[in-house]
Amino acid sequence: MAFKNEGADFRSQSHFTNEMSRFVGDEVASFSNNETAAGTVDDMAEKAVRVSYEKTKSKHKDIKAQRKDIASQIKTQEKSLKEEKAEYVKAKQELQDKKDMLEAKMKSQGAAKEFKEEKAKIKEQERFLNDKASSIETKELKLNEKRAEKKDIKKKENKERKKQSAKLNVANMLKAKKGISNEVGGIGGVTGDAFEDGKSGLVGTFLQYINPFYYLKKLLAYLGSLLAPYVLIFATIAIVLVMIIALLFDALSPAIAVHDAIEKFISNFTDDNTFVNTSLSVDKINEIIEKANCDETQEKVLRFALSKVGYPYSQDYRTSGNYYDCSSLAYYA
């Protein structure tokens, strides 16, 4: 209801509506554009749970490392104790054999005084074995204590693993609940793409955890972290082998060249696998050596071998200078 009188304007107004609008505006401004009030609460709760999950995960990792360390100690102690027991049994058997032999001697000869020194040695060995048995017993008790400690740590590890799994499930549940709250509030970040919008919120979370590729990717990442060190070692060994083979080929290349040159030359003087008795001139030998491209020592060997081409074969006259055989050729070369 309103009226005008000499320029004055009077209207009835609803102050409640104005205050309500201001309150709603202030409350909406306290949240992000993509979250409702319930979604924000769920987001905060999820972050808190995930922080707790990371702490539990770290604690579980430390307990697991502690368990592995104790398991390694137990394995070492078991190996050492097994060796000591074997030595103890062997020494005990040897001592028993000595005692039996001494008793047999005493019965046959009948003079106990003559074996006084041997009896003293046997008693000393018995005392040593008794001390050894006590030491083995003490080590077994300590080993059993370690085993009990490992068992307790294993229980703690299982407990922390269950806590870790439970907290992760709660965090995922809060994440899904946040998606529902945002979708119900109508401000879930709609893009206009039906396919993309259909994968948001709870539906997206559900699709993520039923998708086999999600677990396959996690498995492949885990296997990759396990295999990476071995692949690196294999690659390093392969590189070293390739370098060694390359160096060997480089070192043997002059010898291969000499071998090929000799084979090529001899092929010119063979007919149906029968060698023609023909000697080489000095110029021909020099030509072959020049093509071989060898060092000083190789040149001497090759020159001597080529100088014997056409000489008859004889073991009896191999030292005369006019004959050769395989062993003398290699020796004099």
Bridging pattern class, strands 8-11 and 270-271: unpaired
Confidence of residue 302 (pLDDT cuts 50, 70, 90): confident
Residue-level pLDDT at 307: 77
313 vs 215 pLDDT, higher one: 215
CB–CB of 99/91 below 8 Å? no
Q: How far apart are CA 4 and CA 11, in angstroms?
A: 10
Question: Which range has highest mean pLDDT (73-87, 163-177, 188-202)?
Answer: 73-87
Least confident of 98-107, 120-129, 234-243, 276-285: 276-285
Which residues does residue 275 pair with via DSSP β-bridges, in sequence order? 270
Q: Which of 38-52, 141-155, 166-180, 253-267 has the highest mean pLDDT?
A: 141-155
Specify the length of the chain in residues: 333
Percent of the chain with pLDDT over 90: 1
CA gap 90, 68 in Å, rounded: 33
Contact criterion met (CB below 8 Å) for 152 and 66 = no
Residue 6, classed as helix, strand or coil, is: coil
d(CA 160, CA 56): 7
> Does 318 score more than 70 pLDDT?
no
Asked if 182 and 34 count as a contact pair (C-beta separation under 8 A), the reply is: yes
147: tokens are 């085993």
Compute the distance between CA of residue 283 and CA of residue 285 in angstroms, rounded to an integer.
Answer: 5
List strand residue ranges (DSSP E) for the chain, in order. 2-5, 8-11, 270-271, 274-275
Instruction: Place 14 in a pLDDT band, splitting at 50, 70 and 90.
Output: low
CB 168 within 8 A of CB 53: yes
What confidence tens digit (pLDDT) does each residue in 173-214 have?
A: 777 777 666 665 554 455 545 455 555 555 566 666 667 777
| Tokens coding 29 | 């401004």
**pLDDT for 95:** 82
In the chain, what are the domain boundaries? 2-210, 241-332
Where is average pLDDT lowest: 25-34, 40-49, 166-175, 297-306?
Answer: 25-34
Q: Does position 55 have pLDDT exceeding 50, yes or no?
A: yes
How much of the chain exceeds pLDDT 70, in percent?
62
| Average pLDDT of the residues of the chain | 74
Per CATH, the number for 2-210 is 1.10.287.1490
Concatenating the DSSP letter of every residue in 255-312 gives HHHHHHHHHHHHHTTEETTEE------HHHHHHHHHHHT--HHHHHHHHHHHHTTTPP
The residues pairing with 271 across neighbouring beta strands, listed in sequence order, are: 274
